[in-house]
Structure 1
Amino acid sequence: MTGSVNLFPDPAEAVVNLVAASVALVALKVELKPPGRNHIDGHSKVEYSAAAVERWMTFVTAAGILTTSVQRFLEPQPLENSGIGLGVCILAPRA
């Protein structure tokens, strides 16, 4: 809404965390399955896939933030709806 690059990382991180938690939950469910004919050692290595998905998403998000930041640095743009953006920043919970 505001066009501010400074506000972009927080929601991006929240999306990454939500998807990573969902992938971890699915990985835990798969990991708890008993060994079968195709997986005689069980499904314990699915954790590595979940970690890889999270790392990939973190990398893509960081690359997007970096690209947007550099682009905005080279071609500055005025902020829009700064009052709404300030209100959201003030009311947003801080960790």
Structure 2
Amino acid sequence: MNTNTFNGPHGWMLVADRREVFPDDPGNGTPLMVYAPKATASGTLGRVLDTAEVDEARNANAREVPGDVMTWLENVADQAQTFVYGD
């Protein structure tokens, strides 16, 4: 299994994808992505944890991530990172 989807509150998801890890090019790939309900907005886990925002899919506007979703992401971040990168 190369991907693991963590389902959060209100339809938010965190997708961990091992296929997006490139050891020879660490800046390439997006192994940990956060998706708003119905995939209307997304962002990397790192950015979301830093800014509490995702980018809208149809435009360049930022969308605020609800507080309870941020709490959930903080709680599952280590588990998702362990899935992608190992122990």
TM surpasses 0.5: no
Structure ranking higher in strand proportion: 2
- Greater RCO, CA 8 A, separation 6+: 1
Larger Rg: 1
